[in-house]
Structures are given as structure tokens and as C-alpha cells.
A and B are shown apart, each in its own frame.
Chain A
Amino acid sequence: MKNLKINALPMAAAASIALICISAARADDVPKNSLRFGSYTVFYHTSADDISGPYVPPGVNLEAQNVETAYFGYIRRLSSKFDVELALGYPPLAKVKGAGPATVGSVPYNGVVVSGARWIAPTVFLEYRFLSENSPWQPFVGVGVNYTTFYDRDTTAAGNAAFGGPTRLSLTASVGPAATAGVGYQVSGRWHVYGSYSIAQVKSDLTANTAGIERTTHISYGPQVLIVSVGYSF
């Protein structure tokens, strides 16, 4: 019984994709591929546990700063109503500020940029377009999966001072659901402009290692992403 439940979902998904592909086969005159480029603004809604570990005063927390970077996406038309989008942003340097006490000991902390990390967060959306393919306006919604991994994780000099020395950060990768809503407008021929707003669940366990002393926290970044882009279909 349990196995039947588990197997039902992929089977339904496979059936859906098969229907979508059949539908797509009837519209060969519409370009199937699009590339989009634009701006990618991330508004974090960070919530994190207080940092725990040796020699950490109570209430020491972190907060991610909003970032803006370049967006590029590849969109594959599946049918007259469905697209699949791979959304990417040029890996931005996301800065993290201290939150909590004004100082740790006598070292400034609250509001001070203590670390930075670049991340790659490819997100795959299955999108549904509400209007016909001939409409210049193309409102859409989508759901998908986000994968986020972090690299170039550096603490700042101020962060090292607060943490007690040169600090190595590790952040676990995150896989979580994502959703998007947006609208496209056909400017001319194969050119469109798009605007969308997306949300994703990005959670990571952070470990800060300072001279062998490890402190940890669990961060939920709560990113909300505004994308404004130009697309070309081919």
C-alpha cells in the first residue's frame, strides 16, 4: 500500500509530461526556445537561529543583505500552455550582517558585514501561460524546484574580529520548492519583455570554524526575487 502511494506520483507526472509533449507536437510553427537576460534582485527575509557554540553570548544572529545580479534563463516550450524554465543568476556576492547585540565583547557586531558568499541557485519552473500564444501579453505562473549551493565563503575582517580569528564558513546546499508569477509582453517579432516575482525555500546549516572552535546556526533565507528581463525566442 505504501509503495503504491509512492509510485503514483511519478506515474502521474510521466503521464502529464506525455500529454504536454503530444500537445507540443501540434504547434511546430511556434518557436520552442527562448533565452532571457535581465536583472535579478533578491530580497531576503532571513530568519536564523541564534548562533550557538562555545564562547557565543546570547542573541548573536545573522541577517543577509539584499543583492542584485544579472539574470539569464532558458525557456523551452512544451505546449501552447506550458513552458519549462531554467532560471539562473550570475553568482552574486551575498553579504551577511551581524544581528543582535551592538558588540560582542567590545567588537562591533550588529549591522556590521561579517561575511560574504557567492551562491548558485538554479531553479527549474514548470510554467503555465494563461492566454493564447497569439496574445502579446503572456501572464504566467509556475512552480518548481530550487537548488542553492554556496562558494567563495569569506569572513570579513570585522567578522573575524567578532568571531575571534580567521574563520572558515561552511554552508550546506539547499533544495526546496519555488514558485513564480509574471507576465511577458511581445515587443516585436521574437522579442519580448518579462517581469516576474518568485519565491523559494532556501535553508542552510552554517558552521563557522575559528581556530578549531565551531559555532553553528540554521538559516532560512526566504528569498523573494524580482526579475525584469528581455527574451528572444527561436
Chain B
Amino acid sequence: MNKNVTAPAILLAAALLAACGGSSSPTATVNVATTPGTLSVNPPFRIASLDAAALQAALSATAAGAQLLALTDNPVCGVDFYYLKFMTLGGAGEMTQSSGALMVPTGAAPTCSGPRPIVEYAHGPWTNQAANIANITDPSNTEGALLAAMFAAQGYIVVAPNYAGYDISTLGYHPFLDAKQQSGEMMDILAAARTALPNTFTPATSDNGKLFLTGYSEGGHVAMATLRALEAAGDKVTAAAPMSGPYALEAFGDTVFYGGVDLGSTVFAPLFANSYQHAYSNINNDPAGPIFSSTYPNAETQLPSTTPIDTIFAENLLPMAALFDSATPTQAEYPMVPPPLIAAMAVPPIDPSVPVTAVWNAGFGNPYLINNNYRVGYVLDAAQDPDGAVPAPQPGVPLAKVKPTQGLRQDFYVNDLRNGNWSPTVPTLMCGGSLDPTVYFSVNTGTMAAFWQPLVTAGLVTVLDVDPQPPLKPAGSFILIQEGFQASQLALFKFYQTAAGGGLSAAAAQQMIVEGYHVAVSPFCTLAARSFFSLF
């Protein structure tokens, strides 16, 4: 009898035990809501956790990191690097997911835990579609390292988007210098970060209510647009420090189309075109014909890309420097264009005493990116309805009197941060370098400062040129930063002429300085921003 019962009983017991299987500890909660600002994964993934000593050791391991540490001081706090995924809207108002970083200070020092201020940072233009500012394990993530060392390791909570179009984003394009989209995305990641903060490994580290906005280059524009948007929404901002941004887009665009081609323009132009075509649908149906030459038929969708930018240039998918045709428009070709405009569009000659003229000159060639027909259409619009800052500054440096009719110029007008006559109501530092060949300082920072001058109370807006040119000299509360920048540039100039630096001639070394200038200004302005924020 027993033998008939026991065997099935044991097998049944085994089966019941097996039926217990399948359970597992929970992972993060996935929020499928599509409302902008929704944190998609909570708690967010922590990519890395570095204590202060490990962060210092990691930075010290490279020459660039060691130079950065010399500027930022040694880390006081460790930093936890979280990877945020959140919902936002694209340039055409389409729902999309984006990603970014939340850097949380850690450690026993009093400034590393408890209620802490937030620095929200907007990065510069990336060509690498796969870049992720939260990924501190990526050696190429220099901007993430800068943020960690400059802010998070000194006790600031840092929030920084990758921007739609990058990393995990499936948007398919980047809403480049689209003030509405990018400020919206900044507000969305801020909301997501505030949702995430109580669920990190250090939940006692919280938002103390102080919010500082900053960003560099494209991010300077984004930071300023975000300040405008947050103020419009009635949200509190403590202070802002947009840096080296193309704030006065219409004036900047006019400068470039007249012939002052900036360094990097062949990268920026495709980004502009793709962004504005999606947002306003007015790039590809221009009466003057296609914007891009037939040599580069896919220019508009070329960036951002997972293909390295050097490869894109090498494979002739984009020109390295030639934005415009070196055979500039002639009177015979364009009889309706006034002779002074034809002359204004000529290739700028190189003046050795003015290094940026070499950049302008290099902006012309063949093959070239933008067709002459398109350029002429833009310049005609600019001449008929001129910007108040370009070509000749007018009192108050206003925008064009009426909304431009040429598509791209219209988009610049819309996204120019003078639009709407807004001015900041919180302390604002605008930092940059006066010789910047990529984002012209006077055309952008200078124009905004002049535009705001009658609109803001005295002392509310501070302009810092880290590289004052004679007869100006380093002076004022940022004198050490100015002196530091100029000393570093001089040291670099000398280094390039040594064997270790390549043994370049003085002229070639100067060219290297020009090409690296925009990037070189960044850490010094960021240091100025931190110094500025510490006042509040």
C-alpha cells in the first residue's frame, strides 16, 4: 500500500516546491505616463558612485583632469551619478523621451548632504548622437566631469539633460536652439530630478529651494531661454549664468550670412536646418531653392550622428569649414541685389593682426555647404529689415522691426532672446571670451547686455569677459579668473611651439589657439558661474 502512495507524494512535493519559483526582488518602477516632466524610471539608475578621494584620483589620472582640478579645487564631496529618463516634447510638440544626469553630492562633510542647492546645466552642441552626460565612466564625457568637479563635488546637486535627439531619444533630430523646446525640456528634467531625489541612495539630500541656471555655448542660449520660461511660469530661480551663448540669434545669423562665418558653422547649419524644419517647416520650401548644395544632399539629417565628426568630414558628408561658395554672388548673377550687398558678401580677406579673419576666410570654399541663392535670399531679407545690432548697431540694438520673411532668418528672429522684450529679474552673469571665433562675444553677449541695459536695475546683470583686450585689463571681482585664462592661453601658445607640443610656428600655434578658444573659455566661465552662485 505504502509503495503506491509514497512515490507520487514525493514527486508532488517536488512539483509544489518548483511552483514556488519565479519571484524576485523588485526593480525600479516604470512610469508609462507621457506627461512632460514625468520621471520614466524611479528610482533612476546610478551609473557610478565615487567618493571624494576616488573622484580626485580619477581626475588626477589625466592631464586635462588635473588642470580641471587646479581650477575647481579638490573635491569636498563624493558624487553619485544618476541616469534620468523623462518625458518631454519635441520641436514639433511631439511627445518623446529624453535623458540626462542627476549628480548628487555624497559624503560626511556638512556641505555634502541635507538640503542642497540645485545647479541646472545645459551643455554645448554635440555631434555624437550617443553621448550621455550622466556617463562619467566615458572618458570623452569632459562636460560631465567638469560639472562633477565644479559643482557636485562642492555640494551642489546637478541636473543636466542630454537633450532630445541624443542618447536614448528616438526623436530623430535635435531641436537645436529651439528656445521653446529646449527650455521646456530643461523644465521637464528639473521636475523629473525633483521626483527622483527622495528615491536616491542618499534620500536625505534634498532640494533646498535654490535654483541656479547655467549652460555653455548652445547651452548658454538654453539656460537663458530657461530662465525666461521659468520666470514666465512664476517658478523661482535664484540666479543664472549663461555662458558664451548665441543669445542674439538674428544678429548672429546676419553676421554669418554677411560673411563673418564662425568656426563650426558647417556643423551648426545642419543642426539648425533640421531643427527648424521640424519646428516651423520653413527651411525646405524656400523660394530661393534648397539651402544645401547638391554636394551634400543629406546634410540636413547628418547630425547628430554616431559616426565621428572627423569621419563625416573625411567622407565628405559635410565640409569641414566651407559654409559658403568661394565664388560669391556677382552683380551679373543677381542684378536685383544692390552693389553694396554684393560687395558685403565677398570673401573676407585675411588680416594677420586679426586672427578671426582667417576663420571667416576659411568659411568660403568649393565644395561648399550653403547655396548662393539661399544666401542671397537671406541677406536681402537682412538688408531690407535689418537687425538692430548688425551690421551697424542701432540704439537699443532691437530685433528687426517686423518678423522676417526669409525662413531661416524668421526662425532666428523667433529664437532670438530679445524677442518679447524679456529681461531677467534675478541676478544674471553673462560670461564669455571676447575673441571667441565660434560664438561671437560682442554680437551675442554684447547685444544682450546693451538690449537689457535700459530694462533692468543696475547691478542685476553682470558681463564678464575672461579675456579682456587692450586697453582693457583684467580687473574687478573676477580678476583671478581673467588672469588665469590669459595665462593658460599664453602657456598653451608657448607649449605648441615646443617639441612636445608639436613644434609649431608662432602662426600655426596662434591658429591652434583660435581653434581651441571656445572650448578653452568654458571651465573659466564655469568657475566664474560657481563663484557668482556662491553669493546667493
Seen from chain A, the residues whose Cβ lies within 8 Å of a Cβ on chain B are: 32-33, 35, 55, 57, 72, 74, 76, 86, 88, 91, 103-107, 118, 120, 122, 149-155, 161, 164-170, 209-213, 234
Contacts and interface: CB of A to CB of B under 8 A. Distances in A.
Interface stretch (B40-48, B252-260, B473-481, B505-513): B40-48
Given A57-B137, A106-B50, A120-B14, A76 B7 contact: yes
A165 B6 contact: no
B192 to A, nearest CB: 13
Interface string B1-21: 011001100110110011011
Contact of B25 (A35, A105, A150, A167): A167
B46 A165 contact: yes
Nearest to A34: B6
The dominant DSSP class at the B interface is mixed
B24 A153 contact: yes
Interface residues on B, range: 35 or more
Given A74-B10, A211-B43, A120 B21 contact: yes
A106 B78 contact: yes
A117 B23 CA distance: 10
Contacts of B27: 165-168, 209-212
Contacts of B54: 103, 105-106
Interface string B196-223: 0000010000000000000000000000
A23 B13 CA distance: 30
Contact of A152 (B10, B11, B23): B23
Nearest to B42: A211
B85 interface: yes
B25 A168 contact: yes
Query: In the complex, which of the residues B45, B78, B137, B201 has the most CB atoms of chain A within 10 Å of its own CB atom?
Result: B45
Contacts of B13: 88
Contacts of A212: 27-28, 30, 41, 45, 85
A139 to B, nearest CB: 24
A122 B10 CA distance: 11
Contacts of B45: 55, 164-165, 210-213
Contacts of B85: 212
B372 interface: no
Nearest to A33: B3
Contact of B18 (A74, A120, A164, A211): A120
A33 B2 contact: yes
22 contacts: A74-B10, A103-B54, A106-B54, A107-B49, A120-B14, A120-B17, A120-B18, A120-B21, A149-B18, A151-B20, A154-B25, A161-B49, A165-B28, A165-B43, A167-B25, A169-B25, A170-B24, A211-B43, A211-B45, A212-B27, A213-B45, A213-B83
Contacts of B78: 106
Contacts of B26: 166, 168
A55 B47 contact: yes
B82 to A, nearest CB: 9
A122 B14 contact: yes
Interface of B: 2-3, 6-7, 10-11, 13-14, 17-18, 20-28, 30, 41, 43-51, 53-54, 78, 83, 85, 135, 137, 201
A165 B44 contact: yes
Query: In the complex, which of the residues B2, B3, B27, B78 has the most CB atoms of chain A within 10 Å of its own CB atom?
Result: B27
Contacts of A76: 7
Given A211-B28, A212-B85, A151 B49 contact: no
Given A86-B11, A106-B49, A166-B43, A35 B6 contact: yes
Query: In the complex, which of the residues B24, B43, B44 has the most CB atoms of chain A within 10 Å of its own CB atom?
Result: B24
A32 B3 contact: yes
Given A74-B7, A106-B51, A155 B25 contact: yes
A150 B27 CA distance: 18
Contacts of B201: 161
Nearest to A88: B14
A167 B25 CA distance: 7
Contacts of A103: 54
Contacts of A72: 10
A106 B21 CA distance: 34
A104 B50 CA distance: 9
Nearest to B135: A55
Nearest to B137: A55
A211 B50 CA distance: 20
Nearest to B55: A106
A91 B17 CA distance: 8
Contacts of B2: 33, 234
B128 to A, nearest CB: 16
Given A35-B6, A120-B21, A105 B49 contact: yes
B113 to A, nearest CB: 16
Contacts of B83: 211, 213
Contacts of B22: 151
B21 A151 contact: yes
Contacts of B3: 32-33, 234
A86 B14 CA distance: 10
Given A88-B14, A212-B30, 18 more contacts: A55-B47, A86-B14, A91-B17, A105-B48, A105-B50, A105-B54, A106-B49, A120-B20, A120-B21, A155-B25, A165-B27, A165-B28, A166-B25, A167-B25, A167-B27, A168-B25, A210-B45, A211-B43
A212 B85 CA distance: 10
Contacts of B21: 120, 149-151
A209 B45 CA distance: 10
A106 B51 CA distance: 6
A74 B43 contact: no
Contacts of A210: 27-28, 45
Contacts of A164: 45-48
Query: In the complex, which of the residues B20, B28, B48 has the most CB atoms of chain A within 10 Å of its own CB atom?
Result: B28
